Amino acid sequence: MAVYCRQLADGEQQEYVIAPHSDDQTDIELLAVKAAGARDKGWTVEWTAQTTFVAKKLRWGGIDCVRTFWVE
C-alpha cells in the first residue's frame, strides 16, 4: 500500500506518492501526519473517509488549491 496525493490548482493536476518518514511508519500514520501538517499550515482539512482527506487553501495570489490524500 502507499499514500498518494493529487493536487489540482489553476486547472492543472499533479499526482504523486508520498514516502513514509521512517521504515516502520504505517500508511495510516503517514496520512494523519500529513493532515495535521496541512492544518498547521492553514489548510482546511476535511476527512471524507477513514483513509482519505481533502485539504484546501488559497495560494499563489488567490488560486484555489485542492489536495486529495488517500491510501491505496
| Model pLDDT, residue 33 | 96
Distances in whole angstroms, Cα of residue 44 to Cα of each of 9, 18, 25, 27: 15, 20, 24, 21
| Model pLDDT, residue 41 | 96
| Model pLDDT, residue 59 | 86
pLDDT classification of 24: cutoffs 50, 70, 90: very high
Q: What is the pTM of this model?
A: 0.91
The residue range of the domain holding 49 is 3-71
pLDDT classification of 49: cutoffs 50, 70, 90: very high
Residue 61 has pLDDT above 90, yes or no: no
**Residue 3's Cα: distance from chain center in Å?**
9
Domains in the chain: how many in total? Answer: 1
* DSSP state for residue 47 in the 8-state scheme: E
